[in-house]
Chains A and B, each alone.
Chain A
Amino acid sequence: MSCPTVALSCRGLVKRFGSVTAVAGLDLEVMTGECFGLLGPNGAGKTTTVETLEGLTRPDRGEVEVLGTRWGAGADHRLRQRLGVQLQETQLADKLTVRETVRLFASFYPRPRPLEVVIGLVGLEEKRRARVGKLSGGQRQRLALACALVSDPEVLFLDEPTTGLDPQARLKVWGVVESFRARGGTVLMTTHSMEEAARLCDRVAIMDHGRVIALDTPARLVASLGGSQIIELRPEPALEAAELSGVPGVARVEARDGTLALSVRDIGSVLPVLLSELDRRSVRIAELRTHQATLEDVFVHMTGRALRDE
């Protein structure tokens, strides 16, 4: 089609709440038709950034543009008509039915999608007449999604759309987002889950302490670790990271709390060599785990902290 255009952009975004700097200078560009993820722990500034783009918060410094329009320039009302938003913490009115809720949101927009279509999209047809208070957590998330989609938006803002959902519900939600993308929509989403980011997002920005610390496609971010697989090892007696970095096939070794994480390209070839090396040094293995490298590992690599706060 046409050359890619910028759907959303932030330049030098700064936002403070009292003495806390939530966003400390952020640049971002989301292209039309892209699904863009903001990944980071709680307090990273993701929600503040998204709320600024949604027009809920005014930045202290910096410029924000949504679909070529700035907030507060007299075009707010018309801009809101082109957006769909799902806020995680919203609790919809318990006493209304699914259909009544979607109908209410539909009434705010000039050209809403038909109610039954939207309700069908999120798989709530059988619950059309059920009261919101009687829905499960997953069903409520899907209802919130329906309310965001009823406006037939160009840009969809999703805030942790599958947090707290069981695997089946997550898949359903992912399906809805993918079908929205297929129709040419742009998505900006925040998430905790590297799985979700890896699955849905074309590009991911990893945020920490109000800044973007990495921005790329999920695949390239993982590749930046040097190896697509991770061996986690707890040796006794403990070893320094440097002692194992010489093992062939190991791209990087990091120490985390007495555990060594080795980034390798191929577990199958590295593992035997590693085990014999440990045996040679008479080092016992207290724990050994392996997994595919994920964005979580990227985050840990960049910040030394875990993505999920335990």
Chain B
Amino acid sequence: MMEGGGMSDRADRRPHPLLELTRVRVLEFVREPEALFWVFVFPVLLALALGVAFRNRPAERVRVAVTGEGVAVARMAGELGGEPSLEVQRLDPPAAAEALRKGRVDVLVEASGSGLTYRFDPTRPEGTAARLAVDDALQRARGRVDPVETHVLPATGAGGRYIDFLIPGLVGLNLMGSGMWGIGFSVVVARTRKLLKRFAVTPMRRSQYLASYALSRLLFLTPEIAAIVGFGWLVFGVEVRGSLAALTTVSLAGAFAFAGLGLLVAARPTTIEAVSGWMNLVMLPMWVLSGSFFSSDRFPDAFQPVIKLLPLTALNDALRAVMNDGAPLHATWSELLVLAVWGAASFVLALKLFRWK
């Protein structure tokens, strides 16, 4: 039952199904304006906001409150005030206590008949440092001589700032978020529209359908990462110490892992509400534990083995190794392995569990 069609159509006689499925994924994505916002604009805005909020300020001055009456106290306050690193104010005791309590001053110097008393909060790093700075200033002013000669050379370098730590974390978060939400929604919407059922009666290979999601994610990788990293470089001077090839490979591994995980989460749910619930359940722990915004080392040691095995942790660690430390690709082999296993295992399981009707 072959029919002679137009000659021009013979060329597009049989497009490859996997390529065609991937092409369709891409077209659907770029034609959805909201998706473009969430994937490209949102992480950049987030980086901007956090970068500004946590920006490196010039070394902050230590804030000192001095209490007590009398000429001697006034002289001491003047000596301290002469120190460029100290910001001194004189307050009466109740006001000073209040200021210390609320964190408006870092240390309180109480001058009374029995001498000087330092009041500060030792659990705050600023408190301890403040007390040392004030003490140092006071002792030197009264003639302390240091036996060892020292020079002070301040070194503020890019690479150690919060924004340098943050950008790779945001890349990781973005790969996870856009990968999982993008796939999760698309699949469940197709399921509710009975489109999966329609595909199920065709000879389309199920594995190719799933693979097309992973492939399209890999394609989108480059612009997504370029947006965040490019932004970080332009606005904050965040550098990529390692090679771009290493960065790309790590990112590909991450995208692959989350594509698999996204397919697994979306394999059974029949409603958007259900898949959203599952997505949140899977992603929220990683938002908190995986070190995107602050180091995962802050969690107790007992948690660490589990944390390290989470895909987002592995991705963030590998990204930081490449971007901040300039590590070569092979140094991240353990993280890449974690990602590869998550991706492959999720994909296989998703294929088995996938609900087509």
Contacts and interface: CB of A to CB of B under 8 A. Distances in A.
Interface in B1-59: 1-3, 5-6, 9-10, 12-17, 19-21, 24, 27-28, 31-32
Contacts of B337: none
A80 interface: yes
B9 A95 contact: no
A87 B1 contact: no
A21 B31 CA distance: 44
A56 B5 contact: no
B201 A55 contact: yes
Interface string A83-109: 101010111110110001001111111
A104 B21 contact: yes
Contact of A152 (B2, B15, B24, B190): B2
Chain B binding surface SS class: loop
A22 B126 CA distance: 74
> Which secondary structure dominates chain A's binding surface?
loop
Interface residues of A, number: 40
A77 to B, nearest CB: 5
A106 B12 CA distance: 10
Contacts of A110: 14
A157 B133 CA distance: 85
Interface stretch (A113-121, A189-197, A284-292, A296-304): A113-121
Given A114-B10, A117-B5, A95 B28 contact: yes
Interface stretch (B70-78, B173-181, B192-200): B192-200
Given A95-B31, A111-B2, A152-B1, A87 B14 contact: no
A77 B201 CA distance: 9
A93 B28 contact: yes
B300 interface: no
B203 A87 contact: no
A92 B1 CA distance: 27
Contacts of B24: 93, 96, 100, 104
B6 A108 contact: no
Contact of A56 (B9, B10, B197): B197
A93 to B, nearest CB: 6
A183 interface: yes
A205 to B, nearest CB: 21
A112 B9 CA distance: 11
Nearest to B198: A90
Interface in A13-63: 54-56
A69 interface: no
B158 interface: no
Contact of B5 (A83, A109, A113): A113
Contacts of B15: 103, 106-107
A71 to B, nearest CB: 11
B6 A107 contact: no
Contact of A90 (B27, B32, B193): B193
Contacts of A117: 3, 5-6, 9
Given A95-B31, A114-B3, 7 more contacts: A54-B201, A92-B193, A109-B14, A114-B9, A115-B12, A116-B6, A117-B6
Interface of B: 1-3, 5-6, 9-10, 12-17, 19-21, 24, 27-28, 31-32, 190, 193-195, 197-198, 200-204, 357
Interface of A: 54-56, 77-78, 80-81, 83, 85, 87, 89-93, 95-96, 100, 103-117, 147, 151-152, 154, 183-185
16 contacts: A77-B203, A80-B203, A87-B201, A89-B194, A92-B193, A92-B198, A93-B24, A95-B28, A95-B31, A114-B13, A117-B5, A117-B9, A151-B202, A152-B1, A152-B2, A184-B1
